[in-house]
Structures are given as structure tokens and as C-alpha cells.
């Protein structure tokens, strides 16, 4: 068997992992590189020719979740290759691509994206999928994208756990260790753990539980009548925190735009059936000519989900003339570095957007596993042969985690052959 880490050993995003036997080859994720601060994406693989070459002979592609750094190159994959994604994840991705299709000059690209996404085969947690002599089982994980999976892959008598992006400090994170204990470890040892290590380069970042974040949001909402929120429009658990905090306020409307409303509706129809925390039924789509909603917002105040786009700049300047600005705040709920002007990760679009608000509060917690959580998962899985940290700028630092001593020697960050398995890490020399 062979494991190829095409990308991800020394970068966050752009994840592509290949697992193959003599007969079968599959990919886990086909992500695009993350954009730079100006919004430009530098990615040698983001063209049909490169993806046709990379996917030649591939029997199936499995996506852990709908973030672009895992899913972004799906539209370049030839139709003969089946692509798999979570059922709800597919709906959210379709919704997003429908919105993108409204952007002028993007028609051809959007048509292609929508038709490829439409063809994707949907996955359910714990469903066993056989591709040739490789068996893949998805297990639910909590992440800043809903309907995300880790994959257990069985091939040539070896068991590989590919975690994808995950965390344990979200509302849905409490099942993580149980899933590993009762579904993965129960049926035998894992040989190779391929795990995310995003937080290895952000060890000083405070990781609080989503519940704590909700309490902090409530405090801010009590101080301000008008609350704008800049957060990811597809992070269901974060949206739930804002929705729940707003529900505690005196009948303030929870406002968003059409696109966000469609995403919230998907969550209400799916996760909302399992837990009322994800039932966003009481949310309202803003339009400048909706006087009734506008009067309600003026009267009671509001919580409004916004994005850093021209449309929202227009909404905000429209609302600005009709509400008390001194009683207004923007809660910025994304990674702090995006609006740190001195950071290499600073995003101009966000910086400009945030600047128009006199008061800004930063309330965020990561979508990724903390150092403690990574160590806990690693020790619990306790793989027999190898640990391959991906989705990290500092994969080698995985050995700094408080993991069992003997596991430290199993960390793989360059090409090696071990126990009849070749782990190939292109662009890196053999140890
Ligand atoms: Zn990612
Ligand atoms: Zn992600």
C-alpha cells in the first residue's frame, strides 16, 4: 500500500492525500490553496490539465468537508471519477455555488461547478463504501463546517484514520473520543493516523468552548442595541451561538440576507431536527423595502449577520442613517490575524469592512483541534506504525505535543517505507 501526501505536509489548506493498493487508488480531499490577503490564489494545480494528470487512474475522491481548502478543485475532475461528499455538505456547497453563479463573468465556471457538484455521490456517517479493494467509512466530526467527516480506510490489511479538520470544543464535538473508542478502536488498531495540525503554529491562541463564546456574545448584546456579526456563513455551530444569544434578548430580530437564509434553512431542516440549537426558523431576510422588518429593527434593535461584500456595504450605509450608531457594534468572529494589519494573513477586504464600524468586538474560537485535543486523539488512536501531520505549517512540531514517547518516533514528515507501506511526501527528501 502507498500513501501519498500530495499537499498539506507544510501548509494549511490545499489538502490532497492519495491512498492506493496494487488495484485501487483513492484521494481524500482535493483542496485549493488558500488565497492571499488580496484574495489571489496561487495554485499550480488549479487548472484542468494538472487535475486530469493528478487524477488519472484515480477510482474515487472523498471529501472530508466543504471548505475550499479541501474541496476547491472538484470542478476540474473528469466526470468518470466518482466524487463523494456528505449529504448536507453537498446541499450547502450547491447553495454557495448558486450564489456565486450570480456574479457577472462567472457563468461558464459556475455552470461547470454546479453540474459537477450535482453529480456528487452523498455520504452518510458510518456507511461502508467499497472502492475496489479499499474500504472507506466516514465518521462525523465537529468542525467550523457542518457535516464534516473523518475517514477510516482499510486497505491491504492496514487501517488508516484520516481525521480531516476537526475540533472537540464545539457543541457537536463531545462525541469525538467516543467515536474513536467505540467505532474505530473496537475493531482493531489503527496503523497510520493522518491528522490535521493547524493549531501547531497557533499554540498561544486561546481555544474556548463554543458555549463560553455564546456567553461572551450575550454580554456584548446586552451592551448594544444594534449588533452586526461578521462570521463564516456556513459555520453552523457559530451561527447557533449568535442565534441563541440573540434569542435571550427582548424579541430582537435575527437578520441576514437571502443567501445566508438559504444556508440557515438547510441547517434547520437537517441538524435542526436533531437539536433545537440548530433550528434557525426565526430568522429574517433583509430587504431595503421591507418596512415592517426595518421598523422592528429600529424599535427593538437586532442581530444581523453580514459579509464583507459590496451588498452589505450598501445595507450598512442604508441602515447607518436610520439607527443609533453610538449604540451599534460589529462582532468580528473570525481568525484575528485576518484583521491584523501587520500580519501576513491580513485580508484587505476584511480590514476595510471592519473599519467602517466605530466599535468592534472580537469574539472567536478556532474551528480546529487545540494542542490538547490533538494529543488526546493521537494517544487514544495510538497508531501502530505512523503519524502523518498535515494541514500544518509546522508538521515537525507535532512531536512537541504531550503524546506518548513511543509515538514521537512514529511521526512521518518525509518519504519513507515502513511495514510494506510507502509514505511518499513529494518535494521532501528522504530522512
Ligand atoms: Zn482546512
Ligand atoms: Zn475546514
Q: Say how many Å lie between the CA of residue 132 and the centre of ligand 1.
A: 28
What span, in angstroms and rounded, lies between the C-alpha atoms of 417 and 211? 44
How many whole angstroms from 368 Cα to the centroid of ligand 2?
A: 8
CATH of the domain at 57: 3.60.15.10
Query: What is the total count of domains within the chain?
Result: 2
- Judge if 37 and 148 occupy the same domain: yes
For residues 94 and 263, the answer to whether their CB atoms sit within 8 Å is no
Centre of ligand 2 from the C-alpha of residue 70, in Å: 7
Q: Which residues of 271-281 are buried (b: 16+ CB within 10 A; e: fewer)?
A: bbeeeebbbbe
Q: What is the pLDDT of residues 154-191, one digit of tens each?
A: 999 999 999 999 999 999 999 999 999 999 999 999 99
Q: How many angstroms is it from 308 CA to the middle of ligand 2?
A: 20
Looking at the CA of 166, which ligand is closest?
A: 2
> How many whole angstroms from 167 Cα to the centroid of ligand 1?
12
Angstrom distance (rounded) from CA 102 to CA 80: 28
Instruction: Kindly give the distance from the C-alpha atom of residue 65 to the centroid of ligand 1, in angstroms, as a whole number.
Output: 9
How many CB atoms neighbour CB 250 within 10 A? Answer: 6
> Ligand 1 centre and the CA of 402: distance in Å?
23
Q: Are residues 400 and 342 in the same domain?
A: no
Instruction: Tell me the three cell numbers of residue 129.
Output: 463504501
Ligand nearest to the CA of 14: 1
Do 185 and 125 lie in one domain? The reply is yes
Task: Out of 341, 362, 383, pick the residue that ends a domain.
Answer: 362
- Say if residue 103 is in the same domain as residue 26: yes
Could you give the C-alpha distances from 353 to 163, 232, 286, 317, 425, in angstroms and in order?
34, 15, 19, 12, 40
By residue range, what is the domain housing residue 92? 2-203+367-424
Question: Do residues 387 and 398 touch, judged by C-beta distance below 8 A?
Answer: yes
* CA nearest to 226, candidates 258, 249, 244: 249
Alpha-carbon distance of 313 to 306, in angstroms, equals 9
Beta bridge partners of 332: 230, 362
Distance 391 CA to ligand 2 centre (A): 9
pTM of the model: 0.96
Ligand 1 centre distance from Cα of residue 190 (Å): 23
Give the distance (Å) from ligand 2 centre to CA of residue 390: 12
**Rounded Cα gap, residues 156 and 22, in angstroms:** 9
Ligand (nearest to CA of 199): 1
60 and 77 housed in the same domain:
yes
Is the residue at 429 inside a domain? no
pLDDT in tens, 237-246: 999 999 999 9
- 295 CA to centre of ligand 2 in angstroms: 38
Say which residues have a Cβ less than 8 Å from residue 295's Cβ, sequence separation at least 6: none
Separation of CA 4 and ligand 1 centre (Å): 18
| CA dihedral (358, 363, 366, 371) positive or negative | positive
Q: Taking Cα atoms as reference points, which of 240, 215, 231 lies closest to residue 354?
A: 231
Q: Are 194 and 363 in contact (CB under 8 A)?
A: no
CA distance 122 to 135: 16
Do residues 47 and 110 both lie within one domain?
Answer: yes
Q: Ligand 1 centroid to 350 CA: how many Å?
A: 20
Q: What is the DSSP string of 160-173?
A: EEE--S-BSSSGGG
- Which ligand has the nearest atom to the CA of 167? 2
Looking at 337, 362, 387, the residue that finishes a domain is 362
* Residue 430, domain member (yes or no): no
CB atoms within 10 A of CB 82: 17
Residue 362 bridge partners (DSSP): 332
Residues 145 and 28 in one domain: yes
Give the pLDDT score at 336. Answer: 93
- CA–centroid distance, 145 to ligand 2, in Å, is 6
- Between CA 16 and CA 70 the distance in angstroms is 7
User: CA 204, CA 224: separation in Å to the nearest integer?
Assistant: 30
- The bound ligand whose nearest atom lies closest to the alpha carbon of 234 is 2
| 341 close to 349: Cβ distance less than 8 angstroms | no
88 lies in the same domain as 227? no
Tally Cβ neighbours within 10 Å of residue 285.
Answer: 15
Nearest ligand to the C-alpha atom of residue 143: 2
For the chain, residues with pLDDT lower than 50 are 429-431
What is the distance in A from the centroid of ligand 1 to the CA of 31? Answer: 8
What value, to the nearest 5°, has the Cα angle with vertex 334 and ends 331 and 339?
85
Pull the grid cell for residue 259: 443567501
Quick one: pLDDT at residue 429? 43
CB 226, CB 301: distance < 8 Å:
yes
Are 321 and 413 members of one domain? no
Find the ligand nearest to 70 CA. 1
Q: Which pLDDT score, from 0 to 100, does residue 237 have?
A: 98
The ligand minimizing its distance to the Cα of 65 is 2
- Do 11 and 144 lie in one domain? The reply is yes
Quickly tell me which residue has 429593527 as its cell.
Answer: 297
Ligand 1 center from residue 424 Cα (angstroms): 21
What is the 65 CA–ligand 2 centroid distance (Å)? 7
Are residues 191 and 304 both part of a single domain? no
| CATH number for position 263 | 3.40.50.10710
- pLDDT computed for residue 382 by the predictor: 98
- Ligand 2 centroid distance, CA of 124 (Å): 18
Dist. CA 13 → ligand 1 center (Å) = 5
* Rg of the chain in Å (alpha carbons): 22
Amino acid at each position: 500500500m502507498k500513501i501519498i501526501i500530495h499537499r498539506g505536509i507544510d501548509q494549511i489548506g490545499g489538502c490532497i492525500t492519495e491512498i492506493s493498493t496494487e488495484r485501487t487508488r483513492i484521494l481524500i480531499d482535493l483542496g485549493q490553496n488558500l488565497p492571499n490577503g488580496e484574495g489571489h490564489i496561487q495554485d499550480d494545480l488549479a487548472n484542468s490539465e494538472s487535475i486530469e494528470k493528478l487524477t488519472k487512474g484515480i477510482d474515487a475522491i472523498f471529501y472530508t468537508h466543504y471548505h475550499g481548502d479541501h474541496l476547491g478543485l472538484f470542478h476540474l475532475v473528469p466526470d468518470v471519477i466518482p466524487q463523494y461528499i456528505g449529504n448536507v455538505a453537498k446541499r450547502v456547497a450547491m447553495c454557495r455555488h448558486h450564489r456565486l453563479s450570480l456574479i457577472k463573468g462567472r457563468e461558464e465556471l459556475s455552470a461547470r461547478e454546479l453540474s459537477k457538484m450535482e453529480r456528487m455521490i452523498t455520504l452518510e456517517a458510518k456507511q461502508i463504501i467499497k472502492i475496489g479493494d479499499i474500504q472507506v467509512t466516514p465518521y462525523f466530526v465537529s468542525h467550523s463546517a457542518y457535516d464534516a467527516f473523518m475517514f477510516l480506510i482499510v486497505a491491504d490489511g492496514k487501517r488508516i484514520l484520516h481525521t480531516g479538520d476537526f475540533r472537540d470544543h464545539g457543541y457537536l464535538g463531545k462525541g469525538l473520543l467516543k467515536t474513536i473508542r467505540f467505532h474505530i478502536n473496537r475493531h482493531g488498531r489503527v496503523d497510520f493516523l493522518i491528522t490535521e495540525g493547524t493549531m501547531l503554529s497557533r499554540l498561544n491562541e486561546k481555544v474556548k468552548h463554543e458555549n463560553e463564546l455564546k456567553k461572551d456574545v450575550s454580554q456584548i448584546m446586552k451592551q448594544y442595541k444594534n449588533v452586526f456579526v461578521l462570521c463564516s456563513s456556513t459555520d453552523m455551530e457559530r451561527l447557533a451561538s449568535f442565534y441563541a444569544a440573540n434569542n435571550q434578548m427582548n424579541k430582537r430580530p435575527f437578520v441576514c440576507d437571502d443567501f445566508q437564509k438559504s444556508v440557515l434553512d438547510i441547517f434547520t431542516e437537517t441538524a435542526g431536527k436533531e437539536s433545537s440549537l440548530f433550528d434557525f426558523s426565526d430568522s429574517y431576510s433583509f430587504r431595503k423595502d421591507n418596512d415592517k422588518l426595518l421598523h422592528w429593527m429600529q424599535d427593538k434593535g437586532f442581530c444581523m449577520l453580514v459579509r464583507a461584500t459590496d451588498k452589505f456595504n450598501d445595507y450598512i450605509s442604508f441602515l447607518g442613517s436610520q439607527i443609533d450608531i453610538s449604540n451599534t457594534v460589529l462582532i468580528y468572529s473570525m481568525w484575528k490575524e485576518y484583521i491584523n494589519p501587520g500580519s501576513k494573513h491580513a485580508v484587505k477586504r476584511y480590514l476595510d469592512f471592519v473599519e467602517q464600524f466605530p466599535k468592534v468586538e472580537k469574539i472567536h474560537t478556532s474551528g480546529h483541534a487545540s494542542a490538547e485535543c490533538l494529543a488526546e486523539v493521537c494517544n487514544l488512536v495510538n497508531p501502530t506504525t505512523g503519524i502523518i501531520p498535515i494541514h500544518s505549517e509546522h508538521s515537525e512540531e507535532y512531536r512537541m505535543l504531550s503524546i506518548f514517547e513511543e509515538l514521537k518516533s512514529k511521526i512521518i514528515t518525509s518519504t519513507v517505507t515502513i511495514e510494506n507501506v510507502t509514505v511518499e511526501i513529494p518535494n521532501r527528501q528522504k530522512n
